[in-house]
Amino acid sequence: MRMAPENTLLAYERAAEAGADLVELDVRTTRDGALVLMHDGTVDRTTDGRGAVAELTLRDVRRLRPRVPTFAEALRWGKRRGVRIDVDHKAATVEAIAGEIRRAGMVDRVVIEGPRERLARFVALLPGVDTMPKVTSVADVGEACRLLRARTVRLSLAQLAEPEYVAAVRAAGARVSVTILGARDNEATMREVIRMGARIIETDYPEVAARVR
């Protein structure tokens, strides 16, 4: 997200204004058990502070600039704004994340990615929640969707290039998600992956994706 600092409410608001209907966030746990948004294990790269998230208290994190939101604040924003949330749980327990999602009334407005064993626990704790597993083969697509009740499947660009993968995802009643961050994050790639069957695109340029869509 290049319109504002990553994992901030300003970034999500700018993305929504640009036309995004799904935003991705990263969840970590502070020393005193608060769930906050931070991609890295430390706050060094994205804030004016230093140190590991796991060694800082919520009060410490609140002093940082740009402001670091809590997971609960981001969920409330998504509910108010009508934007779905893609939850990447970097370092937080399944139980803590599930509890926040339940309290926010966002079970049907999130999609959760991560290791498959953790996704199975989310499914057990949050009936009806959407998960976004990665798959290892065409045959694995149907199995993953059945076991996890997944309605979204994350394919690599190499997998997306094989029509059998896309057909398997569609046959399972799910949508294809793909990430194009980095050197290939541009309009040409967006048009290409949409043509191949992608329905969700993770990009740093939501305004371009919205225009292409």
Q: Express each pLDDT in 17-64 by its tens digit.
A: 999 999 999 999 999 999 999 999 999 999 999 999 999 999 999 999
213 within some domain: no
Name the domain boundary from 131, 157, 181: 131
Predicted confidence at residue 54, as pLDDT, reads 98
Res 165 pLDDT > 60: yes
In the numeric block, which tokens belong to residue 102? 């339940």
Where does a domain end: 131, 146, 166? 131
Are 53 and 147 contained in the same domain? Answer: no
47: in domain: yes
Residue 154 domain-assigned (yes or no): yes
Pick the closest to residue 178 from 97, 137, 82, 169 (CA basis).
Answer: 169
Q: Domain containing 16: what range?
A: 1-131
Which of 5, 8, 18 lies closest to 205 in space, CA to CA?
Answer: 18
Residue 1 has pLDDT above 80, yes or no: no
**Region 156-168 average pLDDT:** 98
62 shares a domain with 106: yes
At 2 the pLDDT is 67
Q: Residue range 197-212: average pLDDT? A: 96
pLDDT tens profile 51-101: 999 999 999 999 999 999 999 999 999 999 999 999 999 999 999 999 999
Separation CA 63–CA 20 (nearest Å): 29
Tell me: do 97 and 13 sit in the same domain.
yes
Number of separate domains in the chain = 2
Tokens of 83: 């934007």
